[in-house]
Amino acid sequence: METALEVKGITKRYKSGRGVRDIRFDIAKGDIFGLNGPNGAGKTTLLKIIIGLIRPDHGSVTIFGNNTTDQFEQAMKQVGCMIETADSYDYLSAYDNLKLSARFYPELPRTRIDEVLEQVGLAPYKKEKVNGFSLGMKQRLRLASALLSKPKLVILDEPTNGLDIEGIVNFRNTIQQLACEHGITFLISSHMINELSLIAGRIGIMQNGQLIRVGGVNELVKPGITLEQYIVSQLHTSKEGDHDDHRQYIK
Amino acid sequence: MIIANILNETEKLWKHNRTKGFLLLAILLPVISAFLLLHNNLGLGSNLPMLMLRLFTFSLLPLLLFMSASESFSGEVASNTLKLGLVRPITRAKVFASKVAAITIFLAILLGVLMITTIILGWLVPGGNFASGLLDIITAYVAAFIPIMAIGFVSVLIAQFFNKSSGALVTMILIYATAKLAPFIFPVISVWSIFSYTNWYVLWIGNGASFAKLANSFILMLSYCIMTYSAGVILFEKKQL
């Protein structure tokens, strides 16, 4: 099976002592990989390193065989991403926001912007300026921007934040449909494990900047306990065992 | 990809009311000035294009550059929109280049609009025949572009140190004001300060200055451009978002 994303020994340490360390995992083409962990575990930092917003101290990221350090343009041609802290231009309309992104993909047909706006349910509002959008509408626009280029790998950071129930269900259906019908690979970071467990094939659990466990949803769940309970137990175990190690890392 | 991003950056600048406002000023100020000069029976002579160029190169063009640079870099960091361009298939060096290119394009457009407006006024308004000095006017406007562009490059470098456009803008204005006042106390500064060359175009008109002097000052401006651009792109590459 072709590897869509390969993360090798990624380490990034901030002055505060926080960051991520020695993260290793890979995602096969067509998989939906969920990244879970408590707030501040390092999920967003890891995603930002993968898409080149932050430079790691060590390690490498390879996307469909292209290393992001020296083949960044080639690597990012295959990627669509939605980062929690990235906003749209609020003085532009939804359509114009996507038009800016579409210029990077000259092979896209002109109808693609309308198509993707339809897909996320923003077609009726395409000419409205983003500054009048609700949080959920802005989130849908970010998703549209991530899917616009028909990427082979989609990276989503807390994608359901701000979405209502209908939006969450639509989002889930869209992801599953794209993965099944088009073989698109997804890396989805979320602190909502129940949400992740409904769509992800494999889940990685992060804590204190480390990837403490990676496995299939069915592997992680043991008889008699829910995935939620399992993860909480893993976090507690890791916290105790890792405390001294983490202190060492900060030093 | 760089062309795509130059188009994006140009479109973003154009959508700001500020940019349209400056363009409007480049048309309205000469018209109002012409009206006032005629109303007071002063006549336009061949002064209007140079008068406007002096006003714009001294204050309005640097201000436009400061605002554009601070908004395009620091402002986009603050509004979390800079990341949108950086996660596309384009290197940071190209993103930087296209932002600088868009600012430079607007500077050229603004100077062009100002020049055309003042020349047209010369044809339309009685007593404002600039035909004899047309070459001087065009030379002056082209020459004025170079030092102002160099100031733009300096402002782009300053913008790299700030994560909010307001901080960057205030710092740029303070540096500019200090650089303009400093030569009154230390005259030697004016030789080396890029901010002292806003009226460089004067050397190009009439009998002007010697070729050696023009070449010397041109090389100084070019050096400013190269140094500030290189420093700016290095800082931009290192930005952690």
pLDDT in tens, B144-174: 999 999 999 999 999 999 999 999 999 999 9
Residue B78 · residue B163 · CB < 8 Å: yes
Calpha distance B241→B238 (Å, rounded): 9
Q: How confident is the model at residue A222 (pLDDT cuts 50, 70, 90)?
A: low
> Would you say residue B238 has pLDDT above 50?
yes
- Yes or no, beta carbons of B81 and A52 under 8 Å apart: no
Which pLDDT score is estimated for A248?
46
Q: Determine contact, residues B130/B137, Cβ cutoff 8 Å.
A: yes
Q: Could you say which architecture CATH assigns to the domain A3-78+151-250?
A: 3-Layer(aba) Sandwich (3.40)
Size of interface A-B (CB pairs under 8 A): 72
The pLDDT of residue A251 is: 42
Q: What is the mean pLDDT of chain B?
A: 90
User: Are A217 and A227 within 8 A, CB to CB?
Assistant: yes
Q: Which residues in chain A have their CB less than 8 angstroms from residue B89's CB?
A: 72-77, 104
| Share above pLDDT 70 across residues of chain A, in percent, rounded to a whole number | 91
Token pair for residue B2?
Answer: 């760089």
Amino acid at A71: Q
pLDDT(A249) > 50? no
pLDDT over threshold 70, residue A73: yes
pLDDT of A246: 47
> Which pair of tokens denotes residue B119?
């020349």
**Residues A30, A19: contact at Cβ < 8 Å?**
no
For residue A73, give the nearest of B11, B83, B91 by CB distance: B91
Confidence tier at B43 by pLDDT (50, 70, 90): low
Query: How big is chain B, counted in residues?
Result: 241
From-to residues of CATH 3.40.50.300 in chain A: 3-78+151-250
Our CA-based measurement puts residue B116 at a distance from the nearest CA of chain A, in whole angstroms, of 30
User: Which chain A residue lies closest to B86 (C-alpha atoms)?
Assistant: A53
pLDDT of residue A250: 42
Q: Does B81 touch chain A (CB under 8 A)?
A: yes
- pLDDT attached to residue B41: 67
Q: DSSP H helical segments within chain B, as ranges?
A: 2-15, 17-39, 48-55, 61-69, 76-78, 82-86, 92-124, 134-159, 165-185, 189-192, 211-238
Encoding tokens for residue A36? 């879970």
Grouping H, G, I as helix, E, B as strand and the rest as coil, residue A16 is: coil
pLDDT in tens, A123-161: 999 999 999 998 888 988 999 999 999 999 999 998 888
Whose structure tokens read 């065989």? A65
Buried/exposed B188-197: b ≥16 CB within 10 Å, e otherwise: eeeeebbbbb
Domain count, chain B: 1
Residue B4 sits at the chain A interface (C-beta within 8 Å) = yes
What mean pLDDT comes out for the span B23-48?
79
User: Among all residues of chain B, which has the CA nearest to that of A142?
Assistant: B84
Alpha carbons B136 and B142: distance in angstroms, whole number = 10
SS3 A55: coil
Whether residue B131 has pLDDT greater than 60: no
Q: Within 10 Å of residue B124's Cβ, how many Cβ atoms?
A: 10
Question: What is the pLDDT of chain A when averaged over all its residues?
Answer: 87
A61 CB-contact burial (10 Å; exposed 0-12 / middle 13-18 / buried 19+): buried
Residue-wise pLDDT tens digits, A178-195: 888 888 999 999 888 888
Closest partner residue to B90 among A79, A83, A104, by Cβ?
Answer: A104
Is the pLDDT assigned to residue A45 strictly greater than 80?
Answer: yes
**What mean pLDDT do residues A83-87 have?**
76
Residue A205's identity, in one-letter code, is: I
- The partner residue sitting opposite A103, judged by closest CB among B4, B79, B83, is B4
What is the per-residue pLDDT for A173?
Answer: 87
Instruction: Determine, for residues B89 and A90 on separate chains, whether the beta-carbon distance falls below 8 Å.
Output: no
Q: Is the pLDDT of residue A107 over 80?
A: yes
Whether A211 shows a pLDDT value over 80: the answer reads yes
pLDDT of residue B128: 59
Domain assignment of residue B68, given as a range = 2-238
Residues of A in contact with B238 (CB under 8 A): 55
Mean pLDDT check: name the lowest of A89-93, A178-182, A223-227, B193-197: A223-227
Q: CB–CB of A104 and B4 under 8 A?
A: yes
Give percent above pLDDT 70 in chain B: 94
Residue B230 has pLDDT above 80, yes or no: yes
> Which residues of A are less than 8 Å from B8 in CB distance?
100, 103
Q: How far is A125 from chain B (nearest CA, A)?
A: 19
Between residues 15 and 54 of chain B, which touch chain A (CB distance below 8 Å)?
A: 15-16
Q: Which of A74, A76, A96 sits opposite B88 (nearest CB)?
A: A76
Distance CA B3, CA B61 (A): 25
Task: Tell whether B164 is within 8 A of chain A (Cβ).
Answer: no
